[in-house]
Structure 1
Amino acid sequence: MSASDQPHHPSRRGILTTATGLAAGAALPLLNAGSAHAALPRAAAQEPPGAAATFTNPVLWQDFADIDVIRVGDTYYYSASTMHYSPGAPILRSYDLVNWEFAGHSVPRLDFGAKYDLSGGRGYVRGIWASSLAYRPSNRTFYWLGQIDFARTYLYTATSVEGPWNRHAELPQVYYDAGLLIDTDDTMYVAYGNTQISVAQLAPDGRGQVRAQQVFSTPSSIGTLEGSRFYKINGAYYIFLTRPANGQYILKSTSGPFGPYTLRQVLLNLPGPIPGGGVPHQGGLVQTQNGAWYYLAFVDAYPGGRVPALAPVTWTSDGWPQLQLVGGAWGSSYPAPELPPPPRQVEPLTGVDTFAGTTLRPKWEWNHNPDTSRYTVNNGLTLRTATVTGDLYAARNTLTHRVQGPTSTATITLDHAAMRDGDRAGLAMLRDSSAWIGLRRDNGTTRLVMVDGLTMDANWNTTGTGTERATAPLTGTRVWLRATADIRPGTGRQARFSYSTNGTTYTSLGPAFTLNNAWQFFMGYRYAIFNHATQALGGAVTVTRFELTTP
């Protein structure tokens, strides 16, 4: 089904479960030594030793929708939707379900057609929707399974979440909103579908289908159910399903993976932890190594996107999950999971990136696939113009970073000495309604500008390429560009732009930009670094520093 067919969001998969299908309480194997990680700086948000053992929702105020979560040993991983951003399907890592860091991407490149290269078409709001991540103890391998453009399903595997990830041949069947289960006997199953929910048994290598059967038809009184997550818990099979965008249901079978299944509601129209935000939903269940259960869902919180919230779960005597509420709502805080001390602190999601080394860190994603010949990372990011266009939405090699909520500031240090006439470079607030601060070089002169009015229609075609709202002269070859964004739902959802010529004193440029809070684009706003030509290729800019801060 297309996005326009959805009552609200597309497969907004919430995040997943215990041990990718191992029986509840079963010990999970640790990954091999090759997956060990060096110590990283302590995240500011992490509790120091002896601090009060509570956490606050959302546990991570960034846009990570359609989440699938698993535990492998003492480590938690989750995967999220990225649609047209590349690399796709990011994997985050945590040791406590509260503090998360980037680990890698399951889909290194969107190798699904030229439109994902912004060549002869566009992939906006297509690409990586709800997908599934699992770990198979028998061969110590991670499996990612996802559907592309409602027409193709692919399987990727890796022995470490950092990669390399290998894409296998396209599966002969299409699994919409796939939830992958690796059973205790090592058999692989997929739960999938919209309204009509089916289960397929996969071939032993996961690359073919042995059998498939519809196991449930959603009553019209409920409407749509999708976003499957598939578990085996204490010998029973469960399919976790979302009703977009305000409910969560669960199917249970004690007669095997093909049912019959009975249905129970987990939540409906439950007040969420973000003022002005939506109902937590499309989530999944995960069991800690100490036996406790949690539900990690996402909350619609546009313009920032869909952000994860965590809550404890208990089980009834007859084997159904019950969400633990606070005052009849999803709690804004809960006691922290009781877990062993982490082996190290995870890397914070805010801070400074000087683009050290020769590769981008996994927190970065391009708007569509990049032209790899037109950028380099070498203790700085050099963007050579890759597209001649007057339309930022058509320009390749725009590099994006999620916005940290509820408010944050992104600052880049930009060397523009190699720009050429007609080039446009800067820092944008990127979505289907966009604005930016940056540089225009025309007739041998480079000046600062603030531009808004970059817009798309409902089919993601460009309807506005921007209107210059303010300008300022520029001297020297280095400039600091800054965007400050408030992504809380409500009337204050604005971004403001400023610049500096010395890195210390900043001057506002242009009016405040009101961020679009419509859900239809699905992805939230991102900070975006860009450089494109309007006349001819050959120019370049170098970003030597990116900093993301919160108040």
Structure 2
Amino acid sequence: MSWKPHEVSRRRALAATAGLVSAAALPLTPAHAAAPSAAAGSGPRPLADFTNPVIWQDFADIDIIRVGNAYYYSASTMHYSPGAPILRSYDLVNWEFAGHSVPVLDFGAKYDLDGGRGYVRGIWASSLAYRPSNRTFYWIGQIDFARTYIYTAPAAEGPWNRLTTLGTAYYDAGMLVDTDDTLYVAYGNTTIHVAQLSPDGRTQVRTQQVFSTPSSVGTLEGARFYRINGNHYIFLTRPANGQYILKSTSGPFGPYTMRQVLLDLRGPIAGGGVPHQGGLVQTPSGQWYYMAFVDAYPGGRVPVLAPVSWTSDGWPVIQLVNGAWGVTYPQPNVPSPPRQVTPMTGVDTFDGTRLKPNWEWNHNPDNTKWSVDNGLHLRTATVTNDLYGARNTLTHRIQGPTSTATIELDVSGMRDGDRAGLAVLRDSSAWIGVKRAGGSSRVVTVTGLTMDTNWNTTGTGYETAGTALGGSRVWLRVQADIRPGTGRQARFSYSTDGVAFTSMGPAFTMGNDWRFFMGHRYAIFNHATQALGGSVTVRRFALTTP
């Protein structure tokens, strides 16, 4: 595919630096609209510090809001389905999955991986909002530069349903629920617009250009829209090394003045990029924080948190440590959480009948070919030699800086020609798994799965090691090092009893190029190369850290 303005601006900037940018929108409840003051965040300081990154997983294009004492965080997912995950926290540091705003990527056949592909399309920088007047969550985002979609839900967990489709493509949208309950959207690349929506949020009332980025700054995008202390703010990112903010004292349509928030700021992750493309949020006690992400490939773009103060004339200032974004800061002063959040690592035995929200499919799945019932049952959904073209590949973010994923796989239902296993998936990939041929099974490692920059397959992989599998159950393991930089490796091993693991094949060196945007993921797959009808069952998935 050709590179559109969104990709082009990022390509240009990221060719020289390791960052990337777009910002987040905060629909302000009355609690959010409290004025910044010198007393904000005063009171006893918690004893503990937190360490950045607050989550070492791939959650980019951050939008963050507070509803009561809970914080909600939305992120981009490109071609993964369901899209636009929502995380929840009670202290801005410890996070759990709550759900997804976009239940299925029903934006065209290419997102079904059935006669087309949606790689690096889909859910880009979008916005999450909460409207107190009707106690409703809103998600808004543009797809394929063509249309804008709005989804709503009574709770972050859902159910989420499409409210409307708008003919205007609100590029990198940021939604504001203003203090008078009016819905606004800031959007655009370099030329920034503000749109007003109808009271029901279904149609556009007006749109107006409010700002043109000076040539000395370059590209600004990734709008996040706020009303704070009577002023309107549009938070914008410069790909890939800056963050700027616009302020209007005359209402949402401006005029706006601009100020630089950060430029080429040293980040808290060794080898990572400049913190950028995030949002502002206020705690109940009046403290302000900026949640940004850092480019940290091969793992992706991971969130970092820093406190913010305000100048007397109403501009935000990031609190630095020795001239840089701090590796540690004092824990936010927040009310005691009502409970502990669910860890983002651990064991999933696929109990119940639904996948947990930490899972996302590579494109939309064929729902007739999988089920969950005390195990994940994957029936072959595609006949192909190309994993990138196989439906029903289930992915999980890699935990950094290093982690291990292990699956227990029952292969008794495989048929000749089937391939099933555990991959390290991106535009360059490798896997350990089982090949079935001639009525017998072999455990193998495969590498050389590659795409070009138009996301067409250039290599379907080749076997690097293999051994006969005598039984019907095997444990497959991948250990991945996703610290930012070159030469990071994933290593493969297997077991026939779940206790003693044997290394297999050479290590796989992961790429750290930014252009696929999403980081490497662990991926569980089962596809046919001859005929449909085979199946596997995943009994257990474990994600552990050293």
TM-score tier, shorter chain, comes to over 0.9
Q: Distance in 2 between matches of 1:182 and 1:221?
A: 32
Q: Secondary structure at the match of 1:64?
A: coil
Superposition map of 1:443-482 within 5 A: 443-482=438-477
2:364 is equivalent to residue 355 of structure 1: no
Residue 234 to residue 262, structure 1, CA distance change in 2 (3 Å)? same
Superposition map of 1:235-314 within 5 A: 235-314=230-309
2:345 is equivalent to residue 341 of structure 1: no
Aligned counterpart, 1:25: 34
Residue 206 to residue 543, structure 1, CA distance change in 2 (3 Å)? same
Q: Is the 8 A contact 2:24 2:235 kept in 1?
A: no
Q: Secondary structure at the match of 2:244?
A: strand
Q: Distance in 2 between matches of 1:473 and 1:164?
A: 46
Paired residue for 2:408, among 400, 404, 413? 413
Aligned-residue offset at 1:443: 1.3
Q: Is the 8 A contact 1:448 1:474 kept in 2?
A: yes
Paired residue for 2:166, among 148, 162, 171? 171
Partner amino acid, structure 1, of 2:128: L
Aligned-residue offset at 1:490: 2.2
Aligned counterpart, 1:221: 216
Moved over 6 A (4+): none
Deviations 1:98-127 (A, max 9, x none): 000000000000000110001121000000
Q: Is the 8 A contact 1:14 1:298 kept in 2?
A: no
Q: Distance in 1 between matches of 2:137 and 2:529?
A: 43
Q: Distance in 2 between matches of 1:20 and 1:122?
A: 40
Q: Distance in 2 between matches of 1:335 and 1:240?
A: 25
Deviations 1:17-45 (A, max 9, x none): 3736865228xxxxxxxxxxxxxxxxxxx
Q: Secondary structure at the match of 1:276?
A: coil
Aligned counterpart, 1:37: none
Partner amino acid, structure 2, of 1:216: F
Paired residue for 2:104, among 109, 114, 121? 109
Aligned-residue offset at 1:205: 1.1
Aligned counterpart, 2:22: 13
Q: How many residues align?
A: 528
Aligned counterpart, 1:155: 150
Q: Secondary structure at the match of 2:305?
A: strand
Aligned counterpart, 1:398: 393
Paired residue for 1:373, among 357, 368, 374? 368
Q: Distance in 2 between matches of 1:538 and 1:182?
A: 50
Partner amino acid, structure 2, of 1:447: R
Q: Is the 8 A contact 2:196 2:206 kept in 1?
A: yes
Q: Is the 8 A contact 2:27 2:177 kept in 1?
A: no
Q: Is the 8 A contact 2:24 2:174 kept in 1?
A: no
Q: Is the 8 A contact 1:16 1:296 kept in 2?
A: no
Q: Secondary structure at the match of 1:180?
A: strand
Q: Is the 8 A contact 1:23 1:235 kept in 2?
A: no
Aligned-residue offset at 1:492: 4.5
Q: Distance in 2 between matches of 1:334 and 1:489?
A: 22
Q: Distance in 1 between matches of 2:437 and 2:332?
A: 57
Q: Secondary structure at the match of 2:499?
A: coil
Q: Secondary structure at the match of 2:124?
A: strand
Q: Is the 8 A contact 1:364 1:400 kept in 2?
A: yes
Greater mean deviation of Cα atoms: 490-499 or 132-141: 490-499
2:414 is equivalent to residue 422 of structure 1: no
Partner amino acid, structure 2, of 1:523: M
Aligned counterpart, 2:69: 74
Deviations 1:251-303 (A, max 9, x none): 00000000000000000000000101000001111000110000000000000
Q: Is the 8 A contact 2:360 2:394 kept in 1?
A: yes
Aligned counterpart, 1:45: none
Q: Distance in 1 between matches of 2:25 and 2:233?
A: 12
Q: Is the 8 A contact 1:531 1:540 kept in 2?
A: yes
Paired residue for 2:195, among 173, 183, 200? 200
Greater mean deviation of Cα atoms: 248-257 or 14-23: 14-23
Aligned-residue offset at 1:400: 0.2
2:449 is equivalent to residue 440 of structure 1: no
Aligned-residue offset at 1:504: 0.4
Aligned-residue offset at 1:209: 0.9
Aligned counterpart, 1:84: 79
Q: Distance in 1 between matches of 2:6 and 2:203?
A: 25
Aligned counterpart, 2:41: none
Q: Distance in 1 between matches of 2:321 and 2:117?
A: 44
Q: Distance in 2 between matches of 1:458 and 1:256?
A: 43
Paired residue for 2:7, among 3, 6, 15? 3
Q: Secondary structure at the match of 1:115?
A: helix
Aligned-residue offset at 1:11: 8.2
Name the Cα RMSD after superposition.
1.5
Q: Is the 8 A contact 1:296 1:309 kept in 2?
A: yes
Aligned-residue offset at 1:334: 0.2
Paired residue for 2:505, among 500, 504, 510? 510
Q: Is the 8 A contact 1:374 1:383 kept in 2?
A: yes
Aligned-residue offset at 1:14: 3.8
Paired residue for 1:129, among 124, 144, 149? 124
Q: Is the 8 A contact 2:422 2:431 kept in 1?
A: yes
Greater mean deviation of Cα atoms: 170-179 or 388-397: 170-179
What residue ranges of structure 2 are gaps of 5+ in the alignment? 36-44
Q: Secondary structure at the match of 2:165?
A: coil
Q: Distance in 2 between matches of 1:323 and 1:550?
A: 31
Q: Secondary structure at the match of 1:3?
A: helix
Partner amino acid, structure 1, of 2:508: F
Q: Is the 8 A contact 1:22 1:233 kept in 2?
A: no
Q: Distance in 1 between matches of 2:273 and 2:506?
A: 29
Aligned-residue offset at 1:170: 1.2
Q: Distance in 2 between matches of 1:488 and 1:366?
A: 24
Q: Distance in 1 between matches of 2:108 and 2:47?
A: 50
Q: Is the 8 A contact 1:67 1:297 kept in 2?
A: yes
Q: Distance in 2 between matches of 1:12 and 1:241?
A: 8
Aligned counterpart, 1:95: 90
Q: Distance in 1 between matches of 2:472 and 2:276?
A: 48
For normalisation by structure 1, the TM-score amounts to 0.94
Aligned-residue offset at 1:168: 2.5
For normalisation by structure 2, the TM-score amounts to 0.95
Q: Distance in 1 between matches of 2:90 and 2:209?
A: 37
